[in-house]
Amino acid sequence: MGLRGTRAAARAAAVTVRRPERTASDDDWPAALREAVVSGVLLLGALVALDAAAGSLDALRGGLWAALAAALFGLLLPPRVTAGQGWLAARGPLRRRTVRTDRLVSVRWSEGIAQRLVLRDDAGRRVVLDPRLLLANPALWHLFATGARTAQESGVLLCGATALRQLTERAEERTAQTLLTGSGPA
């Protein structure tokens, strides 16, 4: 075997087989994106049509209506939530926030009209999301819960064990309801 054969064998031996990381994302996000785009376009179309019908449409007013439609789009677009082994990320229109779920120090859950789950890890990173999103997506929930359980078992989770337990109970109730309705009448 020559020098080329030896190098090729060394490269082949150096290559490690890596399993692809299991990730999950919000299944309903594409529909929410469509709704936000349609709402912004409809608002822009209605405002431009009304202004044109009134005869007062010019470049400045058109730009103002476009900015207003873009603001509506930004308000309506929910963050795109993805999760993997030990992490969860929420990507909004301007930035992406990531938190290590296996290193969570705080889980706060505000129940009210606008439910929010605030996750903070030991590096100070923070993600705020709607807890119903996790409950509606079993794959996302599983990855989040696995990481949070790791944080809790390792003693890193300082605040939020009660909120995490309540969220877990809701997820289990939802899973049980899904299984019972899916099984049909006996």
Tens digit of each residue's pLDDT (9 = 90 or more) over 13-27? 555 545 557 888 888
Answer yes or no: are the C-beta atoms of 69 and 33 closer than 8 Å.
Answer: no
Q: Is the pLDDT of residue 69 over 60?
A: yes
Tens digit of each residue's pLDDT (9 = 90 or more) over 103-135? 999 999 887 788 899 999 999 999 999 888 988
Answer yes or no: are the C-beta atoms of 135 and 176 closer than 8 Å.
Answer: no
pTM (2 d.p.): 0.74
For residue 5, the model assigns a pLDDT of 55
